[in-house]
Chain A
């Protein structure tokens, strides 16, 4: 069986052939080892590597296996399964790019004025429908150019309630953010 073991900050490729008769043939990177092994208990094994015998104590941790040989403890992890347990950060949840209501509603309150500078995510207009109030947010930093509705108006999905001019720097920054996030993942 093949493993990629993470230990001491490095990842070592290991090919292992474990036989029932108590021997293990392993290739770690470029080196080959012949080992005789004995299971002593759940936390202890005895291995004989290339003629030298030693007791090894082991315990499973949340993130790997703790292995103690000659007084030094190593944390060994299975690099392949580490991959699958990492939580994925989804690429930035996109705010709707237009100020438009999600369902037919009534404009309750317009929270900004033409000419205001707004931040990304800032609530700019509140609409209500079906006994619920929904705050619509600015998708990016920018300046409010034109407000197309008035309080009390009935509005439909698809109708643009407000025009916001995106601030130029913001666009560049967003690009950077996106690239950074890609690299992290």
Chain B
């Protein structure tokens, strides 16, 4: 393996400018995360305490093994949505270690709107289940939810990817042999009642936990029966009489202790074997990434510099270095795991697309996980290139990405526009995990480009109608809203609010996060019974 030589001058003004720009983006990110994790209405905190319930972060502290990593999934979901206060969509979810095992934890945050389920909450839950299924991670639910947020029920209930899908997935997950353990630490009403019912094992907290298909108000309205939540579906009812719940817990802390014991009985999962090497830290300081990558996505840099600060020992065996130079790909190790890395140094041409396709096939054959570092504006356009078949070469790359069976991991480190997103394994291509850096931008095309397209179209229309071309003012009039919309709807925060990614991360953490993700992904076997790709149009 060759060590990537860094050509960055850390003393240059350019470096320092970029560094401080990224530093402040990261500082903003940390502020946002803190707000999402800590800002709660005092009255809700008090109400929780008065009910004798434990706040969600404390539950996680007790549940997870001491001093172990916790990889949170979509901590900024629903940011700025609804009334702006539904932080993390009312759920805390992530992968952590419980009794020495990797487990995906989903916990309701009852200090956010009483744990009510918003549309983004459903999407987050489904995303977690997808992670469970793809990576075969046991799931632990800590439930305390007031139920669906009724005013938005049309976005929560009816469609294929709405609330009902959660229970469908639970049945499928169960059939797959993946354990699901639920602790009922609050209300689980109607649909919510199915989460514990569909789980393998249920721990029910006395007094505060309740499971029922219809709550007291509904029961009273329907049959006139007056009954309390505890009488209707409390721990005694379900542990002693109905058998819906399996373990009786005195309080939240006890329930968590029981969950830990249950997880402790799970068999050791055999992980997919990769040929590992001893991990080595990169020889360059990861923080230098701040001075390499630019907030202004038009400014190019050599993505090898980024790779050098992520991979073990900064060692990289570059594949087809001299051919298709706008795509960099090669073999490396991250935390000891072998990976095939693809990065962008410009837009994709035919040669780079073909190179990527070949590389993906090689990695797929050798069972080497793929890591995509996306910074792509798109494929080349223009008459010359269309004639050379850029469309079919782009197709080959998309085909390979779609049909390969090794785990894929994507980090959007800059631009993610158009078909470039597809070829470089965007969300729709099912990478096991996808993250964004704070400077990332995503959209069908960049705002400027989109505005340019619209202006050209309008000018063509005008020309056909015999009208003069647009004035600078009129151009600005078209350009501004597009630019603003692109900016708003294309930045990392918008993406993460909509759960188009699994989180916005500090570039410095990329290596560790990839390491944890790869390790978690290995809980699912890398299938060798399904080989081959779709037909490559040659």
Contacts and interface: CB of A to CB of B under 8 A. Distances in A.
Interface string B224-267: 00000000000000000000000010100110110010000000
Interface string B38-77: 0000000000000000000000011000110000000000
Contact of A84 (B248, B250, B260): B260
B66 A88 contact: no
A61 interface: no
A80 B61 contact: yes
A179 interface: no
A83 B251 CA distance: 12
Contacts, number: 21
Range for the number of chain A residues in contact with chain B: 10 to 19
A66 B178 CA distance: 39
B257 A85 contact: yes
A90 interface: yes
B185 to A, nearest CB: 14
A1 interface: yes
Interface residues of B, number: 11
A80 B260 CA distance: 14
Interface string B131-146: 0000000000000000
A84 B66 contact: no
Given A90-B248, A90-B250, A84 B67 contact: no
A182 to B, nearest CB: 10
A130 interface: no
A132 to B, nearest CB: 22
A83 B63 CA distance: 12
A185 interface: yes
A78 interface: yes
Contacts of A84: 62, 253, 256-257, 260
A81 interface: yes
A1 B257 CA distance: 21
B279 to A, nearest CB: 15
A103 B62 CA distance: 43
B253 A81 contact: no
Interface string A161-185: 0000000000000000000000001
Interface string A73-109: 0000010110111001011000000000000000000
Contact of B250 (A1, A80, A81, A88): A88
Interface in A41-80: 78, 80
B298 to A, nearest CB: 35
A80 B256 CA distance: 12
Contact of A88 (B61, B62, B67, B254): B254
21 contacts: A1-B67, A78-B66, A80-B61, A80-B62, A81-B62, A81-B66, A83-B62, A83-B253, A84-B62, A84-B253, A84-B256, A84-B257, A84-B260, A85-B257, A88-B250, A88-B254, A88-B257, A90-B248, A90-B250, A91-B250, A185-B250
Interface of B: 61-62, 66-67, 248, 250, 253-254, 256-257, 260
Given A81-B66, A90-B250, A91-B250, 14 more contacts: A1-B67, A78-B66, A80-B61, A80-B62, A83-B62, A83-B253, A84-B253, A84-B256, A84-B257, A88-B250, A88-B254, A88-B257, A90-B248, A185-B250
Closest 7 CB pairs of A and B: A84-B257, A88-B254, A84-B62, A88-B250, A83-B253, A84-B253, A84-B256
